[in-house]
Amino acid sequence: MILLGLTGGIGMGKSACAELLRGRGIPVVDTDDLARQVVEPGQPALAEVRARFGASVVDSEGRLRRDELGRRVFADENARSQLEDILHPRIRQLWRAAAEHWRGQNQSLGVIVIPLLFETHAGSEFDAILCVACSAATQLERLRQRGWSDREVEDRNRAQLPVEQKIARATYVIWTEGGLDIHAAQLQKVLEGVSAKKSNPAQVGGI
């Protein structure tokens, strides 16, 4: 099985790419979903987050107030690092388990979506890495449409590697300025490249 890592900047098309992959019957795990899973009520990670950041990050029903936590950690690099120390090992354990499950099913390809793939030094775990990207202007417009302030976009971008560095380190790149049909056509080319790597294992890796 080829394990493909999918990454990119905020608002640059990771979710759209994941849906296109699922539509082709390719198994996909999104670590944003895993991040929500590990802080569900009753999970040890939520208790650790509350102990570190205080009761204000949990609502009256015992659920994480993601907006409040995000406001705090993206304004404080040390706080963000502490949160990552709580969450990232648990998230990695879950996506590794998913990959092993796919291998047991003899899947030919599996995809893990990791926004902070390079930042968490996970690149060596993948046979290839796909980065989706767009211009800074397009990213800003998309995130404004989601209700984000310019300051929130700036804070989130500052917490990640510049997308130019992600592009440089990726095996494949999809540029998402165009419509979904253009995105899908680029993805088809990527999948053809991945298929070629599978038929010639000597080409796989080297990231």
pLDDT digits (tens, 9 = 90+) for 165-174: 999 999 999 9
Res 203 pLDDT > 70: no
- 1-27+107-207 and 34-106, same CATH topology: yes
Q: Give residue-wise pLDDT tens across range 90-115.
A: 999 999 999 999 999 999 999 999 99
pLDDT top residue among 198 and 111: 111
Q: Which CATH number fits domain 34-106: 3.60.20.30, 3.90.700.10, 3.40.50.620, 3.40.50.300?
A: 3.40.50.300
State pTM to two decimals: 0.91
Amino acid (one-letter) located at 167: I
The rounded distance, in Å, linking the Cα atoms of 188 and 61 is 44
Task: Report CA torsion sign: 74, 75, 78, 79.
Answer: negative
The structural domains of the chain, with segments of one domain joined by +, span 1-27+107-207, 34-106
Q: Which CATH number fits domain 1-27+107-207: 3.40.50.300, 2.30.30.90, 3.40.50.261, 1.10.760.10?
A: 3.40.50.300
